[in-house]
Amino acid sequence: MLKAIIFDFDGTIIDTETAWYLAFRDSYQTYGVDLSVELYSGCIGTSLHTFNPYEYLNTHHNLGVDSEELRRTVRARHAELMKKEKIRPGVCEYLEQAKEAGLKVGLASSSDREWVERHLRQLGIFEYFDCIRTANDVEKVKPDPSLYRKALEGLGATAEEAVAVEDSPNGMRAAAAAGIACVVTPNRITSLLEFEESQWRVENLGQLAFADVVKAMAKPLAEPVPGEESVR
């Protein structure tokens, strides 16, 4: 029985990820370097340990770029691009229906708490969340399952009683490692990446009725749900 739903933030609730990629790509082009989605994906949904886009031009191309200036340029471009972004389709409806159904609502993000909470308040949805766990709460972020385990603990739910909503392969791996069923909703950038098999994959939550998720979670996960297919 479903008792909790846990959202990722960046790229899932609002598409910050595409704006970050475009901001870095544009800045890299001024130095004559092409930034592929595959390379950039190393930092999507996780920390900058695998791929640090602020340092890459120096560590791999020896360009002598002023990292702080690059940071300012990229953040300014990101802020400009984000003016066009809104909460992704279906997210508000899921939040409202989860509350109406008496479910606990959590958030598990590899970003830091200040970033997440500031944006949730700006979007007017902060009060929906019963538990927020961020990079500040764990030693390892996604794809490590610690964030999801911390969220489950805070929500008072087991993995079998929860469903996660993710946009990236790293996020989906974290949910899977924690034993949580996952709704995958890739954004414009993460839709270009390869995902492992998931319980559901849709372009956005508006394409998957919340009631269908609740119904499916009432069944053993190993049991096929009529009319639904697992999608890679």
Question: Which candidate in 10, 15, 144, 167 is catalytic?
Answer: 10
CB-based contact 96:121 (threshold 8 Å): no
Residue 178 to residue 160: CA distance in whole angstroms: 10
Task: Please give the Cα distance from 202 to 212 (Å, whole number).
Answer: 13
How far apart, in whole angstroms, are the C-alpha atoms of residue 168 and residue 176?
A: 12
167 is catalytic: no
Contact between 34 and 191 under an 8 Å Cβ cutoff? The reply is no
Beta bridge partners of 174: none
Adjacency order of strands within the sheet including 131-133: 131-133, 104-108, 4-7, 162-166, 181-184, 200-201
Does the annotation count 112 as an active-site position? no
DSSP codes, 48-75? SSS--TTTHHHHTT-----HHHHHHHHH
Phi, psi of 5 (to 5 degrees): -130, 135
Place of tokens 């998957």: 208
- Which secondary structure element, helix H or strand E, spans residue 46, and what is its range? none
Query: Which residue of the set 8, 15, 144, 167 is catalytic?
Result: 8
- Catalytic residue positions? 8, 10
